[in-house]
Structure formats: C-alpha cells, structure tokens
Structure 1
Amino acid sequence: MTATGSFPSLHFPLSQRALNTKESQIREASRYCVKFGAINLAQGLPDFAAPQDLKAAAQAAIAADRNQYADTWGLEPLRVAIAAKMQQDNGVQVDPETEVTICCGATEGLNIALMTLIDPGDRVLIFEPFYENYIPNLATVGGIPEFLTLHPPQWEITAEMLEPIFQKGLKAVIINTPANPTGKVWTKAELQLIAEFCQRYNVYAITDEIYEYILYEGEHISMLSIEGMRDRTIVVNGFSKTFCITGWRLGYTVANPTLTAAMRRIHDFITICAPTPFQYAALTAMQFGKDYFAQLAADYKRKRDLLYPTLQEIGLNPVLPKGAYYIWTDSSALAETANQAAYRLAKEAGVAAVPGNCFSNPQREQVNGLRFCFAKKDSTLEAAIANLQKFKL
C-alpha cells in the first residue's frame, strides 16, 4: 500500500464477454428521459397497474409464507398449466414433467437456451432490427451473430435472402414473434420457410414469443407447432408483458426432454428457481379466460391507434405494428443519426424514444430509426402527443 493508504495501480484484464457487453441504450434512454423531465415512451414497461386478482394472489402467497426455494424446474401445477396452454393456444402437446421449465424471466430463458446450444465461434442468425438483448446474450456464450436485415413495412423474408446466410454454417436462428421493435408478426409461410432451412442445414430455432397475446393482425404461430421443428425448437416465453409484471421476473422455456434437461442443469446453478410467491400468483393468471386476452389486445390496439397518427403527422414515417406494443419510425427528419434524433426529441419535445442503434448491427455506420413504446396510460400518451404536436422539426 502507498503512504496514503490506497492500493497501487494494478492492471485487471476483463473477459471478452465483459468487454463485448455494452450498456443498454434502452435503459440509457430512460436515464436522459429523467434528465430532461421527458415523457418516457422509451423503455417497454407499462405505467399502469397489473390485474388486481394477480396482485392479490401474490400478496396471499407471501402471507402464506411461500418464501423458500420452489422446485428448481418450477411449481408442478404451473408447469401443468403452461402445458395445457400450449395445447389449447399453440396446438402443441408437451410434457410438463420433462419439457417445461420456469425461469427468471424470458431473459434468463433466452440465456439458458443459448448456453445449452452455443459454443464459442458458433454462428447465430438474427433478423435486424432485433431486440437489444440478443447481442450481449450471444457475447456471454461467445456466439457470432449473423445479421439479416429486413425492410419496412412488411419486414418480409425470402428463400433468396436465407440461402447464403445458412450456407455460412449456422448453429441456431433467433425468431421474435410478435417482434420487438418492429411489431412484425411472422406468418405460417415464413416460419415454414425457416423450418425448411433449419432442417436442411441442421439448425436449431430459438423463438422469443413474449408478446404472443399482444396481437392486432394475423395470428400467433409458435415454431414448435411447425412440422419438423418439434425437436429442434426452444420456445422462450413469460408473464411480464401479458400481465403487466415486468419486475416479477417470471418466464419459461418449452423444448424436448433432452434440451430441457440441459437447460435445467444450467438454470439450477444460475438462479436455482424463479421467485416462489410469484409462481403461486401466476397460477391465478393462468386461469384468466379468453376475454382477458381479447381485451388486452383491444386496449393496446386503441393505444397504438392513439399515438400512430401523431408520429405520422410530424414526419417520422411510422410503421403500423401488427403485434407487440412498439412503433418503429424513421428518424432522419430529426437528425443525422438515431442517437442524435432521440436526444433531440427528449430535450426539445419532452418525449423519450429509443434510438435504433441498439436494434441494429453494431458495425452499421448509419442508423435511422426510433422506437416508441405505447404501453402507457392514455393520459401519458395524450401528454406525449400534445408535446409532439407542439414540436417543430
């Protein structure tokens, strides 16, 4: 030690996964939202309450001292309920004992799926724009992202687009449907096309289906239901978005017994189990009928249709989403780069959106795009709309 009591300067090398994991731009947008006192249409967290019955169930579980470790794989009744949901809503029969795992949010679900499948150097196809987490998730396992850019307004894929990238030698493909940030809902024909390539080139599919019930056009189809994909698909889903409980960290995976057994071993030593009282509460959520989900989609569609015209009027060329609760826009009318556009909008208009950089290939030199979240109270959206209407480009 030096005379002043401090330690001498030492060099502490960091791992490549630490160096390759950048700070979240979504959370950063929320931070400068606070700095400028802006309305937060950036981070995908609702500012309204979760269902009362669900909150009461969580409170009852805590009061009943459901405070210790649950079964590592998840409460058996909850796994049984998820299996029943997969049969009813997705047309897939799964075994709750060997194919369903409750984990700490869909985020952990995606991580344990990648840890199960991907070795350092393995290539994974990601469709751009993509959810921000996929790049750092791959960095933790040494996976190499292969980007395929889709274009608005339909975000379509073709065999001609897929062939060269599958020929590179992929280990897996990540599909998000409905998609964050674009609102794309993958069609059955598109999933069948991906399935054909996965089977031809021996590739796994990891499907992020967290926005399954937030749907305005088309239908949600799980890759697990596509012919030939039963044994090469890992479904990642959860309760956060559907029940407005993003902070409860409650998700699940569904996959064949071999993949599930591997994910369970990893899950056990990462988190042991998902929060026990919230698992008991989720049993109540699983009993909500079809009316709940229909009303959920209707409410979000109304919110979408409230915000969309203003984004159009001020020249941001928004793409009308078919699912999820985000609107993707062009940002070129605001500034040269997406980061500059987002900062300007927060500072001058008092509305925070997420710059498109975090949804794009990090090597891309020029990114134009902003993501607006409309999972907000009507009063929040109306205040944001008022600010945007006063804003001059």
Structure 2
Amino acid sequence: MGTRPLLNRRLTGMGTTIFVEMSALAVATGSVNLGQGFPDTDGPASIAQAAADAVLAGKGNQYPPGPGVPELRSAIAEHQQRFYGLTYDPDTEVLVTAGATEALAAALLALLEPGDEVIAFEPFYDSYAACIAMAGATRVPLTLRAPGFRPDLDELRALITPRTRLLLLNTPHNPTGTVLTPEELAAIAELAVEHDLLVITDEVYEHLVFSGTHHPLAALPGMRERTVSISSAGKTFSFTGWKVGWVTSSPELVAAVRTAKQYLTFVSAGPFQYAVAEALRLPDSYFEDFRADLTRKRDLLSAGLTAAGFRVFEPQGTYFITTDITPLGEKDGLEFCRSLPERCGVVAIPNVVFYDNTEAGRSHVRFTFCKRDAVLEEAIERLARRQGR
C-alpha cells in the first residue's frame, strides 16, 4: 500500500463527526445530551401504527420503486401544493431518498464537476462540506455573523465567479435558526437568474418556524427550473431513524439527481414510505401543535441558558439555540464542549466545526431543545449549578 494515505485526500480532516464524539461523551459521563438533534419521544402513534401495518401487510418489505412508492410521491406533491401553492408532477418531479442527507449527496454528486464552486452559508451542516468535497468541487463560504446571522447580499454577489455552479441554501438554518425573509430570498433568486446558477435548498425544518414564515425559493420567478428543493420526514414527524427524505424539482433536475441516487442506496425505507405518506396528510392542527410545543421548549431552554450566563441568540426556526460562551469567561467552544460533560453533565455542540472561517464561530455553542421538558429542566439545573446561580 506504500505511503499513500488510505483515506481519499478529498476527505482529509473529515474523520468521525462531532455528533458521534459528543454523543459518546454523553454516554460515558451520564450527561444530558443536548448535542445531536433528535427528539427523545416518538412522533404520532397513528403514523407508527401505519408503519407497523405496512410491514405486516407486506407493503414495502421488498424493493420499492426507485423513485419512491407512488403513494408517497403523491403525498409529497400534495404537501407542496397545500402549504406553498407549488405544483409538482409526482411521476416526474418528485424523488424519494434515504433522508435529506442522501438527497443532498445525490444532488451535489449529480450536478457538480471537479473545479466547480459552491457558495454555502456558514456555519453549515457538516455533510455539506463532505459532499462538496466528494464531488471534487470547492466550497465558498458566505459567513453569517452574530448577532443577527443575516446573509450579506453584497458579499454574496462578490463571491460569484465564472466557476460558480451552485448555491446551497438552508432555511430555516441549522445551527443559527435564521429564517430567510422574502426580501432576502428575492435578492438571492435575482442573482441566481442573472448568473444562471443552480440552487439546492435544504428545507428540513420547514414546519419549525417560530417567527416569520418559511417561503420556498422555488416559488419565486425563474427559480422552479433551477432549484432542487429538499426536505424530509424526520424533523417534522419526529421519526429521525426512518430516514425518509425527498427532492422536488423540474423533470430534468430530478432525473439528474435520480441518476446519482440509484447508485447510492438504490431504494430504502419501504414500509416507512407508506407511513410518511399518511403523515404528510395530517391535519393542520398537527403542524400547528408541533410548532407551538417546540416554541415553548425553545423559550424554556433560552431562559435557562440566559440565567446560566450564556448569551443566547434566539432562533427564528429549527430546534437549536446558538449561544456565545464569552460572558462565561470562555473563548474556545470546542474545548468548552469537550469539558462540559465532566464539569456539569451536559453535552452541547461547538459551532466552530461548522465553519471554514473558524474565528467567526469559535465562541459559539449549540444546544438542542427537541427533548422532554424534564430533560431540558435537568440540563438547565446542571448548568445553573456550574455557574453557582
């Protein structure tokens, strides 16, 4: 094997994800895990029952159709129409994937060539960097800066070069909780049309907006035919282990993404696809109650973190809160998060791992609030004890 490294050089520096490291720390120390973003309660029992019924009825136990079962593709198309007035043909403009993560990977691998540039808002979810690297492209970060974490649209324009192929947007944005405004989206759309850019939008937190409203970029003039919209069931219905995601776009873009996707997983989650089809058709009250419950949890954890001395940047969406540890006399978020389990029995995620421009996020730490009230209250109590408050 010689002296050549075993790992593809494009993935140098992308070892075990921070989520694995911090979740292992949580187990080893018996800490309250407010790091990885998964709920500690399941979604609606009726949807779980639908999955069980599908398994027992033999629906999806063998390979489902490559694009996804027709029932789910129809439900996704109905969802886009119901909430956003967007019309998609379930046969040619919808693709079911193994979660949003596979959708992102397939889209980036399908649409990028080596040497292409991808502009993405940082801090960005860690799979973005890995997938862009695997495609041989170059990521170009547009830094969202505290306290507002708004995109500088003049800077965005300046970052576009003849090599720019694609914009990668995430709204509502993980980890900052920023929700792009109609004005920001309109300006981004104008730039995409002007420079003939493709856009991938990660919209997995579309139903978790606490202030403002989620507006799909694909609905804006000139954007439908150049935008790959991605979402998933995991965050909206609290079944993150099912890994059911989807792509909606033009027939040409869906065909391109499907070409890459078929060589990644081919198909997945057969029985769960039938259950997610039912979930997408739940009444408005489900989505309203879900949002109201998470808003209350956000406010509970925000108040606790503020009382413990953190500077809290209140999120407009998602189920994460970004904080600044500088008021605690701390500067290094990674060091802080690695020591926090031993110091007070709480696990969080250092935002610096989501940045290329590491100084911008060095003192920022992310907590998730998609947990039971008792868990959040225990974490708050432990953090308060550490501060002597």
Sort the TM-score into its range (normalised by shorter chain).
over 0.9
Gaps of 5+ in 2: none
Structure 2 CA distance for partners of 1:86 and 1:111, relative to 1, 3 Å: same
Of the structure 1 ranges 341-350 and 159-168, higher mean CA displacement relative to structure 2 is found in 159-168
Q: State which of 256, 260, 270 in structure 1 corresponds to 2:264.
A: 270
1:229 matches 2:223 = yes
Question: How many Å separate the matches in 2 of 1:365 and 1:279?
Answer: 40
Corresponding residue for residue 18 of structure 2:
25
Structure 1 unaligned spans of 5+: 1-7
**8 Å CA contact 2:109, 2:131 repeated in 1:** no
Match of 2:256, SS state, is helix
What SS does the aligned partner of 1:205 have? strand
Does the 8 A contact of 2:104 with 2:230 survive in 1?
yes
Distance verdict in 2 for CA 1:81–1:268, change over 3 Å:
same
Q: Distance in 1 between matches of 2:137 and 2:280?
A: 35
**Residue pair 1:21, 1:139 contacting (<8 A) in 2 also:** no
Aligned residue among 327, 330, 355 for 1:360: 355
User: d(CA) in 1 for partners of 2:168 and 2:361?
Assistant: 24
Is 1:290 the counterpart of 2:291? The answer is no
Q: Distance in 1 between matches of 2:75 and 2:153?
A: 37
Cα distance in 2 for residues equivalent to 1:71 and 1:210: 23
**1:218 has 2:212 as partner:** yes
Counterparts in 2 of 1:132-151, with a 5 A limit?
A: 132-151=126-145
Cα distance, 1:11 vs structure 2: 5.9
CA contact (8 A) 1:338 1:355 kept: yes
Counterparts of 1:92 and 1:366 in 2: how far apart (Å)?
A: 36
Stretch deviating more after TM superposition (24-33 or 93-102): 24-33
Distance 2:177 2:68 in 1: 30
Q: Is the 8 A contact 1:116 1:259 kept in 2?
A: no
| Preserved contact between residue 183 and residue 326 of structure 1 (Cα < 8 Å) | yes
Quote the residue 1:323 is aligned against: 317
Distance 1:14 1:290 in 2: 47
**The one of 62, 68, 84 aligned to 1:68:** 62
Distance 1:312 1:356 in 2: 18
In structure 1, the partner of 2:296 is: 302
Deviation string, structure 1 residues 200-257 (Cα, Å, up to 9, x no partner):
1111110000000011100000011011111110001010001111110100001111
**Does residue 48 in structure 1 map to residue 29 in structure 2?**
no
Q: Distance in 1 between matches of 2:122 and 2:259?
A: 31
Quote the Cα distance in structure 2 between the aligned partners of 1:300 and 1:336.
Answer: 29
Distance 1:12 1:325, change over 3 A: closer
Question: Which residue of structure 1 lines up, in the alignment, with residue 372 of structure 2?
Answer: 377
Does the CA contact (< 8 Å) of 2:355 and 2:361 recur in 1? no
Number of the residue aligned with 1:337: 332
Contact 1:58–1:277 at 8 Å: present in 2 too?
A: yes
Q: 1:130–1:334: structure 2 CA closer, same or farther, 3 Å change rule?
A: farther
Q: Which moves more between the two structures, 191-200 or 15-24?
A: 15-24
Q: The residue matched to 2:313 in structure 1 has which SS?
A: coil
The residue type paired with residue 104 of structure 2 is L
What's 1:5 paired with?
none
Q: How many residues align?
A: 386
Question: 2:28 — aligned with what?
Answer: 35
Secondary structure of residue in 2 paired with 1:73: coil
Q: Structure 2: how far apart are the matches of 1:13 and 1:379?
A: 45
Match of 1:157 in 2: 151
